[in-house]
Amino acid sequence: MCSRLVSKLLILLLIPAALLAQSTTFGPAVKVTPTGGFGYEPSFVADGFGNLFATAHKENWQLVLAPDLNSPTYSRSMSWTWNSTDKGQTWRDMQGLTFLDLEQHEFGDEGDMALDDTGHLYFVDTNVVDDTFVRWKVNGLGQLSVEATRPLIPAAQFVDDRPWITAHGDRHVFYFGNEGDKVTYPLGTQGTGCGPGRYTVYRSLDGGDTFDSLGCTLPDSGWCRPASDHRAGVHIVYAICGNDGGSDDVFTATNPKGTLYSYVSIDDGATWQRSVIGSYQALDSTFSWPSVMVGPDGTVWAVYVDAHQLECSTDVTGATTCDPDSNRIMLYQSADQGRTWKGKDITPRPGRYRYAWLGVSPNGQKLGVGVYFTPNSNTDPWRVYGAIFNPWQKPQLVSLDNANPVAPAGAEPPGDYMGSYFLADGTLGVIWTRRELSVGTTLERDIFFARSNP
């Protein structure tokens, strides 16, 4: 008997800790988009009252006017905006300025949301040449009111190909606009730490009533994602960006090796400093956004889905396309305000991954992720997965809706990203897109949400 017990203990000691860890369990998938209204590229944030706030891109053929059964006019022109007060079981439209909610008819293509630390929720929604702006005051569960709304920021750049927004403190809010190249907007290159790049940061210290309309362009920035430090009295803003392989996106070629940068402002966006995080395969045809979050102790965490090996081919026109044979999920951490970084490959198992989105638990002890995955994109459909895991541990991915793949084999998952975020109770929410109808091109996509079990 004693020898058997010793043998079992030895076996347990030899099993990696990752295999002993229990996988996360999730509740059922909930449809968020209303009947007849479709969309993609969803994200959401959660506050301390228990509110969830989500936004998503309307389906392309519904951009000008989409049916919306939850709207007083049964239609909308702005991007989708939703509020849930029951941890994602049901969703309704965000409250408007009046009972008619006419700002829903300010045209918007794609948007982003952020919370500060004094109960304000911010929303920017690109209309291509600029962005609409909305600020709500949140006073409790389901208790919110519009404080400000207008159809322009205004920002001096000529276009915005994808807006981001982040906020902290008392009404300190930062809008990030994507010009789409590093050449055609030179007006934001004059400040300390500014220079030619894709993304320009426009700061406001009055809750978005006014913005610095010239902004600071982040030098050599490609696709970026911002985050804020929410510690009291701290004024730090981050952006994690690729650099498009060093290309200016107009005249110069893309280098095979790209650089991941951290851009850091310790003075609420007045000045910026840049540091190198690592490198990535810039010729990857499926490259996407990094994802970044700041923990409650100020530790910065980021993930990036990189290509493992690229398989390149040239068509009859001479155009070369490089697709990944598989992907790896890279996790990065900085404990010194973005100056130095360490990283680790946390890929759970071989296959194709896209759009990993990172969350940090309220106590900072756990990380969460939502991601699309397929073991073989040529033979297996794409499904959505989620996990809660310890820092530096490989996540134990769980299929969130196994019976309903998000995209078939031979295709790519829908949209340019998805979202994950921890709720105040420590559970993880994941929001994603599922392709519903394609006839040569995608016609209908729906948004779904699932939350981990307590």
Contact 418, 448 (CB under 8 A): no
For the chain, give every domain's residue range. Answer: 29-451
Q: What confidence category does residue 98 fall into, taking pLDDT thresholds of 50, 70 and 90?
A: confident
Least confident span in 2-16, 224-238, 393-407: 2-16
Burial of 60 (0-12, 13-18, 19+ CB in 10 A): middle
Mean pLDDT taken over the chain: 94
Q: What's the pLDDT at 332?
A: 98
Q: What is the pTM of this model?
A: 0.94
Confidence of residue 81 (pLDDT cuts 50, 70, 90): very high
Q: Around Cβ 58, how many Cβ atoms within 10 Å?
A: 26
pLDDT in tens, 108-140: 999 999 999 999 999 999 999 999 999 999 999
d(CA 145, CA 115): 14
Please give the Cα distance from 444 to 267 (Å, whole number). 44
Share of the chain above pLDDT 90, in %: 90
pLDDT in tens, 366-402: 999 999 999 999 999 999 999 999 999 999 999 999 9
- Rounded to 5 degrees, what are φ and ψ at 24? -70, 145
Confidence of residue 15 (pLDDT cuts 50, 70, 90): very low
Residue 103 reports pLDDT greater than 90? no
pLDDT at position 202 is 98
Task: Give every strand in the sheet of 291-294, ordered side by side.
Answer: 291-294, 300-307, 327-334, 342-345
b/e string for 195-230 if b means 16 or more Cβ within 10 A?
Answer: bbbbbbbbbbbebbeebbebbbbbbbbbbbbbbbbb
What confidence tens digit (pLDDT) does each residue in 286-322 have?
A: 999 999 999 999 999 999 999 999 999 999 888 999 9
Q: Render pLDDT for 63-79 as a digit per residue (tens, 0 to 9).
A: 999 999 999 999 999 99
> How long is the chain?
454
Residue 16 has pLDDT above 70, yes or no: no
Mean predicted confidence (pLDDT) in 4-33: 63
29-451 to CATH, choices 1.10.3720.10, 3.40.50.300, 3.40.225.10, 2.130.10.10? 2.130.10.10
pLDDT over 80 (residue 2) = no
Strands (E), 90-196: 92-93, 111-115, 120-126, 131-140, 143-150, 164-168, 172-178
